Amino acid sequence: MTLSDTQRKIIESSIRDIKDFPKKGIVFKDITTLLNNKEAYSILMEHLYIRYKEYDLDYIAGIDARGFIFGASLAQMLKIGFVPIRKKGKLPSETISEKYSLEYGFDEIEIHKDAFHNTNAKVLVIDDLIATGGTANAAVKLINKAGANCVEACFIIGLTFLDGIKNLENTTKVYNIVEVD
Protein backbone atom coordinates (compact mmCIF):
# COMPACT_ATOMS: atom_id res chain seq x y z
CA MET A 1 0.00 0.00 0.00
CA THR A 2 1.28 3.40 -0.94
CA LEU A 3 0.08 6.34 1.08
CA SER A 4 -2.14 8.72 -0.84
CA ASP A 5 -1.14 12.39 -0.88
CA THR A 6 -4.01 13.10 1.51
CA GLN A 7 -2.91 10.37 3.95
CA ARG A 8 0.71 11.54 3.84
CA LYS A 9 -0.40 15.14 4.52
CA ILE A 10 -2.49 13.99 7.50
CA ILE A 11 0.56 12.23 8.98
CA GLU A 12 2.96 15.10 8.16
CA SER A 13 0.64 17.76 9.57
CA SER A 14 0.27 15.80 12.81
CA ILE A 15 4.02 16.10 13.56
CA ARG A 16 4.81 19.27 15.51
CA ASP A 17 8.02 21.27 15.11
CA ILE A 18 9.61 22.55 18.32
CA LYS A 19 12.27 25.20 17.60
CA ASP A 20 15.47 25.33 19.65
CA PHE A 21 14.91 21.96 21.36
CA PRO A 22 16.87 20.31 22.89
CA LYS A 23 19.29 23.13 22.11
CA LYS A 24 19.39 26.33 20.10
CA GLY A 25 19.36 25.84 16.33
CA ILE A 26 17.65 22.44 16.37
CA VAL A 27 14.08 21.92 15.12
CA PHE A 28 12.76 18.92 17.07
CA LYS A 29 10.18 16.72 15.31
CA ASP A 30 7.61 15.96 18.03
CA ILE A 31 5.62 12.78 17.33
CA THR A 32 3.46 13.03 20.48
CA THR A 33 0.99 15.05 18.42
CA LEU A 34 0.87 12.21 15.87
CA LEU A 35 0.20 9.70 18.64
CA ASN A 36 -2.75 11.63 20.05
CA ASN A 37 -4.25 12.23 16.61
CA LYS A 38 -6.44 9.13 16.16
CA GLU A 39 -6.79 9.60 12.40
CA ALA A 40 -3.06 10.11 11.72
CA TYR A 41 -1.95 7.29 14.03
CA SER A 42 -4.52 4.91 12.53
CA ILE A 43 -3.46 5.74 8.96
CA LEU A 44 0.21 5.25 9.90
CA MET A 45 -0.24 1.92 11.67
CA GLU A 46 -2.53 0.52 8.96
CA HIS A 47 0.04 1.54 6.34
CA LEU A 48 2.84 -0.19 8.27
CA TYR A 49 0.73 -3.32 8.74
CA ILE A 50 -0.08 -3.57 5.03
CA ARG A 51 3.54 -2.89 4.05
CA TYR A 52 5.07 -5.50 6.38
CA LYS A 53 2.45 -8.30 6.49
CA GLU A 54 4.03 -9.94 3.41
CA TYR A 55 7.63 -9.70 4.73
CA ASP A 56 7.21 -12.91 6.78
CA LEU A 57 8.94 -11.23 9.73
CA ASP A 58 9.74 -13.03 12.96
CA TYR A 59 10.30 -9.94 15.12
CA ILE A 60 10.03 -6.19 15.29
CA ALA A 61 12.91 -4.53 17.16
CA GLY A 62 12.10 -1.07 18.52
CA ILE A 63 14.79 1.44 19.43
CA ASP A 64 14.54 3.04 22.89
CA ALA A 65 12.15 4.72 23.49
CA ARG A 66 9.86 6.02 20.76
CA GLY A 67 10.54 2.97 18.59
CA PHE A 68 8.81 0.94 21.33
CA ILE A 69 5.50 2.69 20.63
CA PHE A 70 5.39 1.91 16.92
CA GLY A 71 7.22 -1.41 17.16
CA ALA A 72 5.11 -3.01 19.87
CA SER A 73 1.88 -1.94 18.16
CA LEU A 74 3.04 -3.26 14.80
CA ALA A 75 4.29 -6.54 16.30
CA GLN A 76 0.88 -7.09 17.89
CA MET A 77 -0.88 -6.35 14.57
CA LEU A 78 1.42 -8.80 12.75
CA LYS A 79 1.17 -11.36 15.59
CA ILE A 80 4.95 -11.63 15.99
CA GLY A 81 7.44 -10.95 18.76
CA PHE A 82 8.74 -7.57 19.87
CA VAL A 83 12.34 -6.97 20.99
CA PRO A 84 13.33 -3.77 22.79
CA ILE A 85 16.70 -2.23 21.98
CA ARG A 86 17.57 -0.31 25.13
CA LYS A 87 20.12 2.16 26.37
CA LYS A 88 22.95 0.52 28.32
CA GLY A 89 22.06 -0.78 31.77
CA LYS A 90 18.28 -0.97 31.31
CA LEU A 91 17.81 -4.68 30.54
CA PRO A 92 17.71 -7.18 33.42
CA SER A 93 19.27 -10.31 31.87
CA GLU A 94 22.48 -11.07 29.98
CA THR A 95 22.97 -8.63 27.11
CA ILE A 96 25.10 -7.88 24.08
CA SER A 97 25.92 -4.28 23.33
CA GLU A 98 27.07 -1.96 20.58
CA LYS A 99 28.77 1.42 20.99
CA TYR A 100 28.23 4.28 18.58
CA SER A 101 29.51 7.81 18.12
CA LEU A 102 27.68 10.93 19.14
CA GLU A 103 28.52 14.52 18.29
CA TYR A 104 30.55 14.69 21.52
CA GLY A 105 31.51 11.23 22.72
CA PHE A 106 29.90 7.79 22.61
CA ASP A 107 26.75 6.00 23.70
CA GLU A 108 25.79 2.34 23.87
CA ILE A 109 22.67 0.25 23.27
CA GLU A 110 21.88 -3.35 24.22
CA ILE A 111 19.57 -6.26 23.59
CA HIS A 112 19.14 -9.47 25.53
CA LYS A 113 21.55 -12.14 24.35
CA ASP A 114 18.61 -14.52 23.86
CA ALA A 115 16.26 -11.94 22.22
CA PHE A 116 15.78 -13.99 19.06
CA HIS A 117 14.69 -17.59 19.57
CA ASN A 118 15.57 -18.77 16.09
CA THR A 119 18.77 -18.36 14.10
CA ASN A 120 18.47 -16.10 11.07
CA ALA A 121 15.20 -14.63 12.35
CA LYS A 122 13.89 -11.94 10.01
CA VAL A 123 13.76 -8.65 11.91
CA LEU A 124 12.46 -5.17 11.14
CA VAL A 125 14.01 -2.38 13.20
CA ILE A 126 11.82 0.68 13.79
CA ASP A 127 12.18 4.12 15.33
CA ASP A 128 10.52 7.50 15.09
CA LEU A 129 13.34 9.35 13.31
CA ILE A 130 16.68 8.88 11.59
CA ALA A 131 19.11 11.79 11.62
CA THR A 132 22.83 10.95 11.65
CA GLY A 133 22.09 7.22 11.88
CA GLY A 134 24.44 6.33 14.74
CA THR A 135 21.81 4.61 16.88
CA ALA A 136 20.16 2.92 13.90
CA ASN A 137 23.47 1.53 12.60
CA ALA A 138 24.29 0.22 16.06
CA ALA A 139 20.83 -1.40 16.27
CA VAL A 140 21.31 -3.21 12.95
CA LYS A 141 24.76 -4.42 14.08
CA LEU A 142 23.24 -5.68 17.36
CA ILE A 143 20.50 -7.60 15.58
CA ASN A 144 23.00 -9.24 13.26
CA LYS A 145 25.44 -9.89 16.13
CA ALA A 146 22.62 -11.74 17.95
CA GLY A 147 22.31 -14.14 15.01
CA ALA A 148 19.24 -12.58 13.40
CA ASN A 149 18.90 -10.81 10.06
CA CYS A 150 17.77 -7.17 9.90
CA VAL A 151 15.77 -7.06 6.67
CA GLU A 152 14.82 -3.38 6.82
CA ALA A 153 14.93 -0.28 9.01
CA CYS A 154 11.75 1.80 9.17
CA PHE A 155 11.45 5.37 10.39
CA ILE A 156 8.43 7.58 10.69
CA ILE A 157 10.63 10.59 9.81
CA GLY A 158 13.81 10.55 7.74
CA LEU A 159 16.02 13.65 7.76
CA THR A 160 17.40 13.46 4.23
CA PHE A 161 19.69 16.48 4.64
CA LEU A 162 21.92 14.42 6.93
CA ASP A 163 23.93 11.31 5.96
CA GLY A 164 22.20 8.85 8.30
CA ILE A 165 19.92 7.28 5.71
CA LYS A 166 22.69 6.95 3.13
CA ASN A 167 25.05 5.39 5.69
CA LEU A 168 22.43 2.94 6.96
CA GLU A 169 21.62 1.83 3.40
CA ASN A 170 25.10 0.27 3.34
CA THR A 171 23.88 -2.36 5.83
CA THR A 172 20.11 -2.72 5.30
CA LYS A 173 17.17 -1.39 3.32
CA VAL A 174 15.65 1.82 4.70
CA TYR A 175 12.04 2.98 4.55
CA ASN A 176 10.87 6.43 5.68
CA ILE A 177 7.20 7.44 5.92
CA VAL A 178 7.92 11.21 5.92
CA GLU A 179 11.09 12.71 4.49
CA VAL A 180 12.38 16.11 5.58
CA ASP A 181 14.87 17.85 3.25
As a CATH number, domain 56-180 is 3.40.50.2020
Per-residue confidence (pLDDT) for residue 176, from 0 to 100 = 97
Per-residue confidence (pLDDT) for residue 107, from 0 to 100 = 93
Give the span between the Cα atoms of 176 and 181, in whole angstroms.
12
Q: Which of 49-58, 103-112, 126-135 has the lowest mean pLDDT?
A: 103-112
Q: Over the stretch 143-157, which tens digit does the pLDDT of each residue have?
A: 999 999 999 999 999
Nearest to 142 by CA among 90, 96, 94, 80: 96
Q: Residue 1 above 70 pLDDT?
A: no
Q: Over the stretch 76-120, which tens digit does the pLDDT of each residue have?
A: 999 999 999 999 999 999 999 999 987 677 999 999 999 998 889
DSSP lists the bridge partners of residue 152 as: 124, 173
Q: What are the strands, taking DSSP E only, across 39-80? A: 59-63
Per-residue confidence (pLDDT) for residue 74, from 0 to 100 = 98
Element (H, E) at 174: strand 173-180
Give the span between the Cα atoms of 98 and 76, in whole angstroms.
27
What is the domain partition of the chain in residue ranges?
56-180
Provide the whole-model pTM. Answer: 0.95
Q: What is the DSSP letter of 99?
A: E
Per-residue confidence (pLDDT) for residue 47, from 0 to 100 = 98
> Does residue 101 contact residue 126 with C-beta atoms inside 8 Å?
no
How do 81-87 and 105-112 pair as beta strands? antiparallel
